[in-house]
């Protein structure tokens, strides 16, 4: 390489004037104090109570993580791998916050990072002023519990949920392309029918084979053309997926949760329509949720969808505090706040949220401009069993899972309700035709 070119490259790599500074680690109150001085904090983000601020001159005693240009600092987040392990050679970990790694990775290296990555990786520019994850303030949004809602939530119990999760785990695998998945889907469809829903299978082509989403519809009493979707992926995976992928937390917990919520609403109706959906092919690239979106488009229903709840991994925790993570984008902030308020009113969950959304079945809906929120365990990234044959029953905390389901169900009733009162006791339309899968065009 010619020296002049080398010098030119070295010059380009130097931080530009005015963009240089220090990245410091501080707690949230120190950040607030620093931000009160105009022009001091050039950029910041927060992970719970831990904050990172980019300042031109670091105050005395600061914990400096990095000195240089902010343009070379990114947040790396990964669904299935420890994010610190994804930093390429030449990059440097600056701070680790759960499943987020704040890292020094200059732009040319970032391209390499994305090229080698799976679909569940996100490289986010360092925010200029937005919390990456933050707890909701307790009491901020709470209301008085409603007795009727509380009575319905009372039907969500650890014992009942345990039985439902166990049944799914006992299929040994729910790998998308397995016979066991088909059986689990058929069983789930049978349960949704038992709970009084109109059901259908959405069959579609994925990876040269047929995939099937299970859909159960609870038609709205007065506004049936407004739809809320309650979804969870039924499929599981592991390194021996064809024969053994119990997927207890990922995602029998969420799938059983959707079934249990349908059971809790049995014999009742909400004003708006609710679709209970068990997705296939999440582990192969969100195939089921993308297919459902195509179905909604084909049937001209897309604009009627007011919100999507996605439940994916709701039962893992190591620490005593039961915590809920809400993951979405700002377009669903209102819906997210209803869920947070419901959690605070009806459960003891500590609620956190993030606007960095990726990697599960809420993404296709968010990309289509539909409010969608992933509700899941806060300690997600600490679960060592995910996608392994060790994702088994004994690692699922049913108290955490039930609390998350109660928060979701209370929010659903508020958003899609109110409940038709008194409870709807009219007989359901009997199924006259033989059960036939309706195949959706796509």
Q: Min. distance of Cβ 232 from Zn ion in angstroms?
A: 8
Site string for Zn ion, 167-206 (x = CB under 5 A): ----------------------------------------
Q: Which is nearer to Zn ion, 51 or 251 (CB)?
A: 251
Tokens (6 digits) for 7:
């010098």
Nearer to Zn ion, 103 or 357 (CB): 357
Looking up tokens 């209970």, which residue turns up? Answer: 276
CB of 318 to Zn ion, least distance (A): 19
Residue 160 burial by Cβ neighbours in a 10 Å radius (0-12, 13-18, 19+): middle
Q: Interface mask (CB under 5 A) for Zn ion, residues 293-312, using x and -?
A: -------------------x
Site for Zn ion in 214-253 (CB under 5 A): 250-251
- Which residue number, 250 or 337, has a Cβ lying nearer to Zn ion? 250
Using rule CB under 5 A, residue 386 touches Zn ion: no
CA pseudo-torsion sign 52, 55, 57, 59:
negative
Residues 312-341 that bind Zn ion (CB under 5 A): 312
Return contacts of 383-390, CB within 8 angstroms, 24+ apart. Answer: 383/249, 383/250, 383/313, 383/316, 385/249, 385/316, 386/80, 386/249, 386/250, 386/313, 387/80, 387/237, 387/238, 387/239, 387/250, 387/283, 388/238, 388/239, 389/238, 389/239, 389/240, 389/244, 389/245, 389/246
Nearest to 381 by CA among 13, 106, 79: 79
**What's the closest the beta carbon of residue 233 comes to Zn ion, in angstroms?**
6
Q: What is the smallest separation between the CB atom of 247 and Zn ion, expressed in angstroms?
A: 8
Contact between 198 and 433 (Cβ < 8 Å): no
Of 22 and 362, nearer to Zn ion (C-beta) is: 362
CA–CA gap between residue 54 and residue 24 (Å, rounded): 6
CB of 416 to Zn ion, least distance (A): 24
121, 130, 339, 301: which is closest to 219 by C-alpha?
A: 301
Number of shown-chain residues binding Zn ion (CB under 5 A): 3
* Residue closer to Zn ion, measured from CB, 132 or 251: 251
Q: State the minimum distance, in angstroms, from the CB of residue 378 to Zn ion.
A: 15
Comparing CB distances to Zn ion, the nearer of 70 and 313 is 313
**Which residues bind to Zn ion, rule: CB under 5 A?**
250-251, 312
């Amino acid at each position: 390489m010619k020296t002049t070119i080398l010098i030119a490259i070295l010059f380009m790599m130097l931080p530009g004037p005015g963009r240089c500074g220090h990245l410091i680690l501080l707690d949230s109150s120190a950040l607030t104090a620093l931000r009160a001085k105009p022009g001091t904090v050039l950029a910041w983000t927060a992970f719970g109570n831990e904050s990172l601020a980019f300042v031109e001159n670091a105050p005395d005693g600061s914990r400096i993580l990095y000195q240089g240009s902010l343009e070379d600092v990114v947040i790396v987040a990964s669904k299935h791998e420890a994010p610190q392990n994804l930093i390429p050679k030449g990059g440097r970990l600056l701070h680790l916050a759960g499943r987020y790694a704040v890292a020094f990775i200059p732009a040319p290296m970032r391209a390499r990072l994305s090229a080698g990555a799976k679909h569940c990786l996100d490289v986010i520019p360092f925010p200029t002023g937005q919390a990456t994850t933050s707890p909701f303030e307790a009491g901020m949004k709470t209301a008085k519990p409603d007795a009727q809602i509380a009575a319905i939530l009372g039907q969500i119990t650890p014992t009942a949920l345990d039985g439902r999760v166990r049944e799914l785990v006992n299929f040994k695998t729910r790998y998308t392309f397995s016979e066991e998945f088909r059986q689990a889907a058929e069983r789930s469809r049978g349960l949704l029918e038992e709970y009084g829903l109109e059901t259908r299978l959405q069959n579609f082509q994925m990876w040269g084979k047929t995939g099937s989403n299970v859909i159960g519809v609870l038609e709205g009493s007065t506004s049936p053309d407004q739809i809320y979707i309650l979804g969870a992926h039924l499929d599981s995976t592991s390194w021996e997926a064809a024969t053994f992928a119990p997927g207890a937390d990922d995602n029998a917990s969420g799938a059983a949760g959707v079934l249990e919520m349908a059971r809790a609403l049995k014999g009742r109706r909400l004003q708006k329509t609710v679709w209970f959906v068990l997705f296939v092919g999440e582990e192969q690239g969100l195939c089921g949720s993308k297919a459902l979106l195509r179905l909604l488009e084909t049937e001209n229903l897309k604009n009627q969808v007011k919100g999507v709840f996605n439940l994916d991994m709701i039962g893992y925790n190591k620490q005593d505090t039961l915590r809920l993570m809400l993951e979405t984008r700002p377009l669903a902030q209102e819906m997210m706040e209803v869920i947070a308020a419901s959690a605070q009113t009806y459960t003891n969950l500590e609620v956190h949220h993030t606007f960095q959304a990726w990697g599960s079945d809420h993404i296709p809906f968010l990309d289509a401009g539909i409010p969608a929120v992933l509700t899941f365990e806060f300690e997600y990234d600490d679960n060592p069993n995910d996608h392994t044959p060790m994702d088994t029953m004994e690692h699922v905390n049913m108290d955490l899972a039930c609390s998350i389901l109660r928060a979701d169900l209370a929010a659903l009733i508020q958003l899609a309700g109110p409940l038709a009162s008194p409870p709807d006791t009219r007989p359901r339309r009997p199924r006259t035709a033989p059960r036939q899968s309706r195949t959706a065009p796509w």
